[in-house]
Amino acid sequence: MSGWPNLSDLVSTSHGEAPVGLVGAPLASGSVTPGRCDLAPGLLRQTLRRIGRYDIESGRELSTKVADRGDVAIDGLSIEDATPYIREAVAASAGAHSLTLLVGGNNAVTRPGVLGLGVDLKQVGLITLDAHFDMRDLDAGLGNGNPVRALIEDGLPGANIAQVGLASFANSREMHEDAVAAGNFVVTIGEVHRNGIAQAIGQSLDHVSHCQAIVVDCDIDVIDRSQFPSAPGARPGGMRVVDFFSAVRWLASDPRVRVIDLTEWDASLDATDLSALTAARWVAECLAGFEMR
């Protein structure tokens, strides 16, 4: 549209010198709640043209080029079989770009996103914006309910994990106790509401201050269900979307953040365009934060 600079202007399939890479990981299998999270990367790309580049609050216009590296070919694969392909795609992107946006797919893509950095896990930090601990047991295999536990089993120390937005009546006592015992830093959604998102993110970054590289997991079900209806795990009382945007921008501004994922968006659940516009705005916030580095 003439006179309407938008995010799609910044995205190209030519990798070139783009400092940011975009990788789609349309994983639907291995989910606690079956759905169509595999539709998310495609709809996100379609919606970017509806998000402008000018930030009226800062008076700045986004200009960072994004290399669209396409979707990982994982259709029909289990998470176990899909993991090496996602890991390889993230590794290729992380090797070529300063920041990789990994668009799921369900939350199981977070683990290969972390492993794809190729960095000693003792040097990697993980910050999750998520209503859930993702600490279900591994007896039934990998899934979207246990990537954090799986990463701990892989060797990621709890001292490197900060979890923000944990919701009441959405987690078990055992998962909470296991997360605390591992050394994870935990901020409940109630604490976010009482103390503000700035305190939660500041404390989370302090918790992983010793890490050389950071992965941010944005499980979209952290947002209040009324503001993002197409997240199967979202519930009333979640994070305000404005707090989510603020958190993403701040985290993306940290040069140690190498991968930010967006997961658990089931595009089939929202008859409106609210969820799609929120997800596309996530890209704008990632880029705005990146340009603050």
With tokens 């300063």, the residue in question is 98
Which of the four pLDDT bands, split at 50, 70 and 90, describes residue 12? very high
Q: Read off the amino acid at residue 265.
A: W
| C-alpha 33 chain-centroid distance | 18
**pLDDT (0 to 100) of residue 140:** 84
Which secondary structure element, helix H or strand E, spans residue 165, and what is its range?
A: strand 161-166
From residue 84, alpha-carbon distances to 57, 81, 97 in Å are 41, 7, 20
Are 129 and 205 in contact by the 8 Å Cβ rule? The answer is no
Hey, where are the domains in the chain? Answer: 7-290
pTM equals 0.96
Closest CA to 262 of 235, 290, 293, 230: 230
Instruction: Give the pLDDT mean for 53-73.
Output: 97
Are 26 and 40 in contact by the 8 Å Cβ rule? The answer is yes
Instruction: Give the pLDDT mean for 8-17.
Output: 88
Which CATH class for the 7-290 domain? alpha beta
**pLDDT (0 to 100) of residue 1:** 46
Q: How far apart are CA 204 and CA 177, in angstroms?
A: 19
Which of the four pLDDT bands, split at 50, 70 and 90, describes residue 2? low
Kindly state the tokens that stand for 166: 């944990």
Q: How far apart are CA 94 and CA 101, in angstroms?
A: 10
Closest CA to 219 of 159, 276, 164, 162: 164
